[in-house]
Amino acid sequence: GQNIDQPTEMTATEGAIVQINCTYQTSGFNGLFWYQQHAGEAPTFLSYNVLDGLEEKGRFSSFLSRSKGYSYLLLKELQMKDSASYLCAVLDSNYQLIWGAGTKLIIKP
């Protein structure tokens, strides 16, 4: 079966750095997405990786290793507004998105 694993919840301190991991086992691979979802709101797109390596976008970076079935989202200089759930999703061989359950990130002052 297809499976995506992420930690359920993480806690970090304002101003610090946090890394949210995602491992996947899917039927084929056509890219990996990260979305941010604030409580009660819709998910919004953060990043897309299809090749191995690190993609940096401001305070957020996303890394992919296809051979390991592994990705992480790195958030730097954490702000209180970064408190949200972070969803990992993989585009499989049929171009269907397989979603992880999400990681709830709690930022403390």
> Applying CB under 8 A, which residues contact another protein?
4, 8, 31, 33, 40-45, 48, 50, 87, 89, 95-97, 99-102
The CB-of-15 to another protein minimum distance in angstroms stands at 29
Nearer to another protein, 4 or 75 (CB): 4
The CB-of-86 to another protein minimum distance in angstroms stands at 12
- Helix or strand or coil: residue 81? helix
Please say whether the beta carbons of 63 and 46 come within 8 A.
no
Nearer to another protein, 37 or 61 (CB): 37
The CB-of-28 to another protein minimum distance in angstroms stands at 13
Question: Rounded to an integer, what distance in angstroms lies between the CA atom of residue 51 and that of residue 47?
Answer: 12
**What are the structure tokens assigned to 64, written together?**
């992919």
Nearer to another protein, 41 or 77 (CB): 41
Residue 27 φ/ψ region, left for φ over 0, alpha for ψ in the -120 to 50 degree band, beta for the rest? beta
Q: What is the DSSP string of 30-43?
A: S-EEEEEE-TTS--
The CB-of-48 to another protein minimum distance in angstroms stands at 6
